[in-house]
Amino acid sequence: MTPGPGIFRTELPEGFHAGGVNAGVRRYRPDIGLITSTSPCVAVGVFTQNTCAATPVQYCQNLLPANNIKAIFTNSGQANAATGEQGVIDNQTMVDAVATALDCQSEQVLIASTGVIGEPVAVDKITQSIPKLVGSVSTIAEKFATAILTTDLVPKTVMKKLPLKGGVVTITGICKGSGMIHPNMATMLGYILMDVQLTTSQAQKILSTSNEKSFNMISVDGETSTNDSAFLLANGASHVSIADEEDFALLQSAVDDVMVVLAKSIARDGEGATKLLEVNIKNSADLSLAKQVARSITVSPLIKSAVNGASPNWGRVISRLGQEAVEESILNSTLLYFQGCLVYAHGKPIFEDSDKLEKLMKQDTITITIDFQSGDASATAWGCDLSEKYVEINGDYLS
């Protein structure tokens, strides 16, 4: 698997093209992006459960699943959420402009938006730039991956080649997300592109399954966005189909890997983040409790501040377990590890080598492992530390 951020050139699957240009919404950086496919795609999505879902989310929810999608357009800077009737008109204007430029039907174009909630979309600037956008596409992901960023520091892409029985297929993942990250069904914006041949029901199963282990297990700040969307597009351009259950399992596992890499890249690039926080729950009798507890710890501002300060304040983790109503009998059998060091066992503190632990807390990934010793379910969630920079970014972020 080739991680894409930075100077890498991330290849798209066969038949896909992507680009991005500046439409003048932001000063310099590309702010509109486009993914196209030469052949129509099977397309599915998972979306925010925020009841105030943005206009583009509602639009895509109506359209998907589908088997004739040709493009996804994305604008960054304005979320087109809480924008009323005008937002619906603006959304359709952008979709229609893309369809015209690509010579396809409007119903073949998906759309996602990200940015400030409640601000009107700069629709004139955007539609004027769409011919230039169409001309910008190439077989690599980076221009698009940059155009969809908001407060993110780095573009987030990943590519994986997977040999199936009928031949090799390519999976490319692209995402963005830095603040307002606490997905519930999906995350900010994620795009999984594949050249394998799939049915819509296969595609939906793969996306929903991987999403539960990846985008739904990250949090930057406990805020579920109005615009969370993850798309899976499969255009069949490799002419490789799923031969059997083994092929399907291989593909599922590969998409799991791709989406976990993307999810972790969002957590690590969380607004103001200096460290990635990984929380593993092991041997729980209750999978849904395990997931809830893992996510709860990644959300806790006290724990996130301690991670920022490299403070091994494990008492705050025990308190959080209690806040999530983990039963006393389970707390009494719990083993708690920071960076692999046992700090709490059977209801009591363990003081081993605190100098060693203090050094380990300075690493750039902090791992908290909680072993409930009471079952066989496990869950992993990712987050980041809470830094002074987060406050600075979000005191200012309103154009």
Task: List active site positions.
Answer: 187
For the CB of residue 53, give the shortest distance to its own copies in the complex, in Å. Answer: 7
Whichever of 185 and 237 has its CB closer to its own copies, that residue is 185
Whichever of 25 and 109 has its CB closer to its own copies, that residue is 25
Distances (CA, A) of 96 to 31, 70, 102, 307, 322: 18, 13, 10, 47, 52
Q: What angle do CA 292, 184, 272 make, to 5 degrees?
A: 85
Nearest to 197 by CA among 339, 61, 40: 40
Distances (CA, A) of 61 to 78, 235, 397: 19, 20, 28
For the CB of residue 306, give the shortest distance to its own copies in the complex, in Å. Answer: 6
Whichever of 128 and 311 has its CB closer to its own copies, that residue is 311
Nearest to 178 by CA among 307, 265, 49, 295: 265
For the CB of residue 83, give the shortest distance to its own copies in the complex, in Å. Answer: 7
| Sequential DSSP letters for 59-119 | HHHHH-SEEEEEEEEEEEEE---S-HHHHHHHHHHHHHHHHHHHTS-GGGEEEEEEEETTP
Helix (H) or strand (E) holding 365: strand 365-371
Longest dimension (CA), the chain: 68
For the CB of residue 29, give the shortest distance to its own copies in the complex, in Å. Answer: 21
Whichever of 82 and 243 has its CB closer to its own copies, that residue is 82
Residues of this chain that bind its own copies (CB under 8 A): 49-53, 79, 81-86, 116-120, 179-180, 184, 221-226, 299-302, 305-306, 308-316, 318-323, 325-328, 331, 344, 346-349, 386-388, 390-398
Whichever of 144 and 390 has its CB closer to its own copies, that residue is 390
DSSP state of 132: H
For the CB of residue 308, give the shortest distance to its own copies in the complex, in Å. Answer: 5
